[in-house]
Amino acid sequence: MSALLELKDITIRFGGLVAVDGISLEVKEGNVVALIGPNGAGKSTVFNVVTGIYTPTSGKVLFRGEDITKLKPYAITDRGIARTFQNIRLFKNLSVLENVKIGCHCRGRAGIFGALCRYSGVRGEEKAFVDKSLEAMGVVDLTGKKEELAKNLSYGEQRRLEIARALASEPVLLLLDEPAAGMNPQEKQTLMQMVQRISGMGITVFLVEHDMKFVMSLSDRVNVLDYGRKIASGTPSEVQRDTTVIAAYLGKEVV
């Protein structure tokens, strides 16, 4: 299997602060890959670099062999990378269905003229959007809530809605930024099944998560960051045995 996403020596500085320091990593097609590390290790920054919200100070991001380092976020989504956010960013005043339909945006074509004339192609596209949205909502069990406003959903449901919205853009690679944060054990269990379902659909999953049980049971590979550097990577069991990782998490004295 070839690498779907490849980060090559990514460094990003904010003023004097080096948030990410020379990170290289690979995400192979079809895998579930995790990025873990203590708070402030630079995990979300890596996600922001991949999705084009930040441009790295140096280094390259390759997606399916194409250099996407300097592309804008919308162009990156268009190429098949979708994401969720650590601090939920839904369109709060819109219904669940509308949120997911916006996710379909980059797979549609209708413009202003289409909006005004609503010729048959546009109507067909709208219908396809609704079908696809309902399908995406089905993956995360939100079909029953389609008319609910996003802001009225529970926290766990909002996290799932973010996933549905991302799925609606028909991604090849799905980035989940702390998907289980703030969920109770039962919700985490369901979420785990959902991620497996998504992976089973042939979508590569790249996730940041703090919950080790969640990460270790889901992932094919785990990358560990500490202070902006990659300190380890491998299968979950390899990483769990790695002394530098244990030191980073528990402090040096323990080792």
Query: Contact positions toward another protein, by CB under 8 A?
Result: 14, 44, 48, 51, 53-54, 72-74, 77-78, 82-83, 85, 89-94, 98, 101-106, 108, 110-112, 114-116, 118, 122, 125-126, 129, 165, 169
**Order of all β-strands in the sheet with 32-36:** 81-83, 173-177, 204-208, 32-36, 221-226, 229-234
Q: How far is the CB of 184 from another protein (least distance, A)?
A: 25
Q: How far is the CB of 175 from another protein (least distance, A)?
A: 9
Nearer to another protein, 95 or 240 (CB): 95
Nearer to another protein, 55 or 237 (CB): 55
Nearer to another protein, 130 or 231 (CB): 130
- Which residues have C-beta within 8 Å of that of residue 78, sequence separation ≥ 6? 106
Q: How far is the CB of 23 from another protein (least distance, A)?
A: 18
Nearer to another protein, 66 or 238 (CB): 66
Q: How far is the CB of 227 from another protein (least distance, A)?
A: 20
Q: How far is the CB of 93 from another protein (least distance, A)?
A: 6
Contact call for residues 232 and 239 (beta carbons, < 8 A): yes
Q: How far is the CB of 52 from another protein (least distance, A)?
A: 8
Please give the Cα distance from 241 to 236 (Å, whole number).
9
Nearer to another protein, 89 or 213 (CB): 89
Q: How far is the CB of 95 from another protein (least distance, A)?
A: 10
Nearer to another protein, 129 or 214 (CB): 129
Nearer to another protein, 34 or 90 (CB): 90
- Which residues have C-beta within 8 Å of that of residue 39, sequence separation ≥ 6? none
Please give the Cα distance from 115 to 102 (Å, whole number).
15
Residue of 103, 108, 110 lying closest to 139 (CA atoms): 103
Token digits for 140?
């995360």
